[in-house]
Amino acid sequence: MWPIAGSVALAASLLTAIPAEAEVPVRLPATKGSLVIIGGALRTDNAAVWERVVALAGGRGARIAVFASASANPEKSGAALVERLSKYGAKAFFVPIAVTLTGTDYQAAADNPELVEAIRSAGGAYFAGGDQSRITRALRRPDGSNTRVLDALWDMYRRGGVIAGSSAGAAIMSSSMFGNPKPVLATLKLGLEDGQEITPGLGFIGDDVFVDQHLLVRGRFARMLPAMLQKGYKLGLGIDENTAMIIKPDREVEVVGYRGALVVDLSRAHAQQGAFNISNVRLSYLDNGDRFNIASRSFTPAPDKAEGRLDPARPYYREPLFSADILGNSTVVDLMGKLIDSDQVEAIGLTLDSPHNVQPDLGFEFKFTRTGESVGYMSAATEAYSVYNVRLDIRPIVVKMPLYHYK
């Protein structure tokens, strides 16, 4: 076990890093491990998620390496996570590799043989939130190659361990991630700068899936679309706060926690040049307990919804569906839930901007359409919806500025 103080002292004592040329590349089989991708703001009492992390690492007594590399205060964040995981039965230990950890050489620590072995032999790793670029900076060398600690993480994961991460720790899961992007609406207006706003992640989920976090609370589903288009992704997974996606070796995704996740499918989408304009996106909302298979693109509702498939001939909502703030907290999911249980074929959402922001006369219309492929389920116990395969079209609109009052 690596206590906080001992780990920091070890890292501080490291004088030189092991040279990159000493590495021997090793080809390993496909991963046997799992991922726990958490959308941020994971509450200490969310036992469903914490217990799954520990269970996937090997159960009570499992050794879990805690990386607080993204944090502005790694010692404080790392200590809190070690304590939390330990309370749920793990033998967690702090890994002293962070660009903001004072008194240490993070580049030397990331190639230290003792840390490498401790991580390789662990049952799992947990990445804290903060700034995801600090994680990639700490675990990759300046030339972009893997440090030995990052290789050890891959070894542990491929052999059956779990890699978990919250917020910034979730962002690193895909091979491309958001770096320091603009707000969501400004991203739709102005696009993204590759290398600054979109940067390389660590890619544990594979090269074919884009991941984003804090998704519903902050309306970030909309910024996934330009990022996915720019980097060539056809599939995206966005997870909300206090909620996790558990991804098993067979690429089955299970949602666990407070709210849920969105599946963004661009396999049939078409984008136009100019202001952001895209059609035929397929959007699905997975609630707690729902499953989605990345390989087969199939959905399975949670057990409490299995008998609750909605009948389009018996809708609950019978009025036009509209939102003036589609990027608001969970608005997109609320609107999708109403649409799938409605006599309406479509729902409209708008997003507008302040007259003092960039391009104030440019807004966007989000049109959600129920098609023959759209399916909804509702839990009789919680009345929560699961919504699969709703069509989404986004087009730019002109907003006349200044806004005039009705007389």
Task: State the pLDDT at residue 10.
Answer: 41
Q: Is the pLDDT of residue 142 over 50?
A: yes
Domains of the chain, first to last: 4-14+33-275 (3.40.50.880), 307-398 (no CATH)
CA atoms within 13 A on the CB side of 56: 27
What's the chain's length in residues?
407
Per residue in 151-199, pLDDT (tens digit) is 999 999 999 999 999 999 999 999 999 999 999 999 999 999 999 999 9
Per residue in 48-68, pLDDT (tens digit) is 999 999 999 999 999 999 999
Task: State the pLDDT at residue 362.
Answer: 97
Phi/psi zone of residue 41: left (φ > 0), alpha (ψ -120 to 50 degrees), beta? Answer: left
pTM: 0.92
Q: Which amino acid is at 338?
A: K
Task: State the pLDDT at residue 176.
Answer: 98
Residue 5: φ, ψ to 5°: -60, -45
- Are the beta carbons of 77 and 71 closer than 8 angstroms? yes
* Interatomic CA distance for residues 340 and 346, integer angstroms: 9
- Vertex 215: Cα angle to 71 and 354 (nearest 5): 100
Average of per-residue pLDDT values in the chain: 93
Per residue in 69-115, pLDDT (tens digit) is 999 999 999 999 999 999 999 999 999 999 999 999 999 999 999 99
